[in-house]
Amino acid sequence: MATLYRKYRPQLFKDIIGQDHIVKTLQKALENDRLAHAYLFCGPRGVGKTTIARILAKAANCLDAKNRPCGKCKNCLAIAQGKFIDLIEIDAASNRGIDEIRDLRDKIQFAPNIGKYRVYIIDEVHMLTREAFNALLKTLEEPPAHTIFIFATTEIHKVPETVISRCQRFDFHLGKSALVEKSIKQIAKSEKFKLSDDVLRLIVKASGGSYRDAQSLLDQLSPYLAKGEITLAEALKILNLAALEQLIEFIDILKSNDQKKAISYLQNLRERGVDFAEFVNMLIAKVREELIEKIQAGDDLSWHQITLHRLIAAALESKSSPIDTLPLELAVLDICEGEGGEDIKQESKPQQDAPSKISEIPKDDLAEDKKIESKLDFKEEKKEPAKTDQKKLTQISADQRKAIIETIATKNKTFGSLLETTEWILEGDRLVILAGFNFHKDKIMEKKNYSTLKSEVENAMNCEVDLICKIKGKEDIAEDIGSVFF
């Protein structure tokens, strides 16, 4: 399927689009003749890890002293044709066994046959068994001078630290839209395809930053493009991307904070019999994809984080909601409130009276969330003097907890409702508020809410209270997803 990908696979460093930080470092190492013995290429699929690994293998064995790789000498040509005896590629995904690595270890002591270096490219290295890793590690401890290992992985967290620490590591990034677009435009030009801007944008968006996926999408369109320009609607149909287009469109509406449009969009989906559970799952996956891109680009994450928390809660709530679409609708209303929303404003919102449990989930204040990471950040800013007579909290009864929450609820109904869902325990003399979700915790740790809670507890208990908030249990989905990212 990926014929264009193979046909246009970069053969030289200068052909590579993106990953500049990696290409420059490798070229510098080549100029100074300081190649490492083990490289670790990590990053998402389809962003050039094995392509650059092969170019590096070529450069290491190129016969042209000045311009490595030249792409013209017999070694460069042999590698390009996949016939170079000193380049050994192992796909760990299908070759998990220790035997392959043992074999590698047996042969590694011998000098390369033709080239200056014997290069091992081990793709999806995280798939190796523990035994294979151990065998590999022994080799890595004392790599022969004529050997270069290039490991590639999409899941760096599964690679043992002992292996990582022996490699020069390069982190590959998803392609920025402009770069993926550039790569597609280049191929379209060479193939003499007429590509409308709409279709080009669709390919770039659908690729999610993977050059290989973008090229594979173009590949699927190529029989049609060979006959002439195609419309966006035709491209969507051919690529079966209607669902994706829908998601992208819907996310744009959410970002524009247009509640009315968002709700009518959902109604429309409902009328067309779209499976909401499936839609929410796809929506979560898509926003997560964008979040990962944002992390890699170092952009602001708050919208994506909060939106994901809300969507996950909606997905969970919908299973027990009397109307299965309601939690998503409420979440969408919340998301569309966007920045600058306030708790007080929230209290008059109709969704507060909805029967679903999600109505108790308060709206996060985006600006505030970002500022407040932990209690310590604002402890010093606390303006009102603590009601303290140096006594520490030693116990708190269920009735006392209930009374405190009721008092808070008279001032802020939403926050009171949220607190009802929490458990309170004492750890030493510290009061720990156990919240069900990350975004509940965030809400509790917001400056205003935290101060209210702390002073109400101190008032009621007549002593100084050390108060923190934690997430209940480890099974929390929001937490799990968080740990996948970071």
Residues that bind Zn ion (CB under 5 A): 62, 64, 69-70, 73, 76
Which of 60, 101 has the CB closer to Zn ion?
60
CB of 4 to Zn ion, least distance (A): 25
Report in angstroms how near the CB of residue 76 gets to Zn ion at its nearest: 3
Please say which residue, 79 or 163, places its beta carbon nearer to Zn ion.
79
Q: In the bound complex, what is the minimum distance in angstroms from residue 65's beta carbon to Zn ion?
A: 10
- Beta 147-153 vs 168-171: how paired, if at all? unpaired
The full DSSP string for 118-153 is EEEEEETGGGS-HHHHHHHHHHHHS--TTEEEEEEE
Backbone CA torsion sign across 84, 87, 88, 92: negative
Using the 8-state DSSP alphabet, how is residue 351 labeled?
G
Q: Report d(CA 211, CA 204) in Å as an integer.
A: 9
The minimum distance between CB 186 and Zn ion, in angstroms, equals 23
Provide, rounded to whole angstroms, the least separation between the CB of residue 315 and Zn ion: 54
In the chain, what is the straight-line distance between the N-terminal and C-terminal CA atoms, in Å?
33
**Beta carbon of residue 115, minimum distance to Zn ion (angstroms, whole number):** 11
How far is Cα 477 from Cα 437, in angstroms, rounded to an integer? 8
* CB nearer Zn ion, residue 74 or residue 237: 74
Tell me the C-alpha distance between 351 and 137, whole Å. Answer: 58
Q: List all residues 6 or more positions away from 473 whose beta carbon is below 8 Å from its beta carbon.
A: none
In the complex with Zn ion, which residue's Cβ is closer, 69 or 209? Answer: 69
Task: Report, in Å, the least distance between residue 234 CB and Zn ion.
Answer: 43
Residue of 314, 294, 316, 312 whose CA lies nearest to 303: 294
Q: How far is the CB of 14 from Zn ion (least distance, A)?
A: 14
* Smaller CB separation from Zn ion, 43 or 69: 69
Q: Closest CB to Zn ion among 10 and 338? A: 10
Residue number with CB closer to Zn ion (70 or 277): 70
Pairing of strands 423-427, 168-171: unpaired
Q: Which is nearer to Zn ion, 61 or 452 (CB)?
A: 61
Residue position matching structure tokens 């708190």: 396
| Distance of alpha carbon 280 from alpha carbon 129, whole angstroms | 36
Say how many C-beta atoms besides its own lie within 10 A of residue 290's C-beta.
19
